[in-house]
A = this chain, B = another copy of it.
Amino acid sequence: MFIEKKASFDEGPAAGGFDNDRHRSRYAGTRVRAPVDDSAWTRYRASPRARLDRHDAHSVLFREDDAASHLYEVVSGQIMLYRLLGDGRRQVVDILGDGDLCGYSLTGLYDCTAEALTPAEVRVLDRRDIDQSTELLAHVNRCLLTRIEALHSHAVLLGRKSATERVASFLMRFVPGRGVVGCIGPERHGERHSADTELVLLKMTRQEIADFLGLTIETVSRVLSDLKRRGIISIERNDRIRLVDVCRVCKMTGIH
């Protein structure tokens, strides 16, 4: 189910895939967020105590049960968090993008492993600095709440959705402003009733997708093939999937 990977999987310099607007949730089942002022956070990030690290794809930031020393803020790229069971089963519990935090710990040990999905930049922060400012703490608070909402959505996906619904939900993650509660719908989206289509650039292997969705690699593959056969998506390359009709994919997520 989980095999340690070393090979790099086609990382173009355009490491997009995720929409970077953090104030707009993209995950099917979550909500659109209100904008907030985090200027204090921006100032803190620029302070000399905050170091910037670069990671290659598949580089490990920290490992489950390592001593938790730092807090990390994703500046660019994507980071996945996962846990392992004793026999090697893996569950990707979260996927982080621009502005998200990880590495916080109550126990002194990291509760999961953090691994870069793409080349990534992370700011390494000192917890003690943050604890002295209400503005910084409030920012961290908002980040944690964002994670909690995402984890709630993910629990629904893992506990109650079929394989097709999981894959559809996963694909909808990459469509900005759609598949969320208060979805703007296909009509108002494109200019002048253009085709409701979207190109998704996956930055994950089938194995990583499967471990995120609580499925096997074969099932993910089968579902994608089935969606392709039905003309709902077209697979232009393994990591380039076109949603031919976004609304149709959205309707398959199970949230309606």
Interface residues as binary, A138-180 with B (CB distance below 8 Å gives 1, 0 otherwise): 1011101111110111111011110000000000000000000
Q: Is chain A's binding surface mostly helix, strand, loop or mixed?
A: mixed
| Given known A-B contacts A134-B137, A141-B137, A144-B144, A159 and B214 have beta carbons under 8 A apart | yes
Q: Which residues of B contact A86 (CB under 8 A)?
A: 254-256
- Give every chain B residue within 8 A of A188 (Cβ-Cβ): none
Task: Across the interface, name the chain B residue whose C-beta is closest to A181.
Answer: B65
The yes or no answer to A107 lying at the interface (CB within 8 A) is yes
* Residues of A in contact, count (CB < 8 Å): 57
B93 touches A155 (CB 8 A): yes
Binds B, one of A31-39, A115-123, A201-209, A235-243: A31-39
Tell me if B158 and A106 are in contact (CB < 8 A). no
By a CB distance below 8 angstroms, the chain B residues around A34 are 106-108
Indicate if A247 sits at the interface (CB-CB under 8 A): no
* Residue from B25, B93, B107 within 8 A of A152 (CB atoms): B93
Q: In the assembled complex, how far is the CB of residue A219 from the closest CB belonging to chain B, in whole angstroms? A: 13
A52 interface contact, C-beta 8 A: no
- In the complex, A112 has a CB within 8 A of chain B: yes
B151 near A155 with CB under 8 A, answer yes
Please pick, from B94, B105, B145, the residue contacting A105 in the complex, using a CB distance under 8 A: B145
When the two chains form their complex, are residues B149 and A151 in contact, meaning their CB atoms are under 8 A apart? no
A62 at interface by CB-CB < 8 Å: no
Question: B131, A83: Cβ atoms under 8 Å?
Answer: no
26 A-B pairs within 8 Å (CB atoms) are namely A25-B107, A29-B83, A31-B106, A32-B107, A81-B152, A83-B155, A85-B254, A85-B255, A86-B256, A87-B254, A91-B160, A93-B156, A104-B145, A106-B142, A109-B181, A111-B149, A111-B152, A112-B152, A131-B134, A133-B134, A137-B137, A141-B141, A151-B152, A155-B155, A158-B158, A158-B159
- Using A91-B156, A137-B141 as known contacts, list a sample of 15 further A-B pairs with CB atoms less than 8 Å apart, ordered by residue number in A: A29-B83, A34-B107, A81-B152, A85-B160, A89-B160, A91-B155, A104-B141, A104-B145, A104-B148, A112-B152, A137-B137, A140-B141, A141-B141, A151-B151, A159-B213
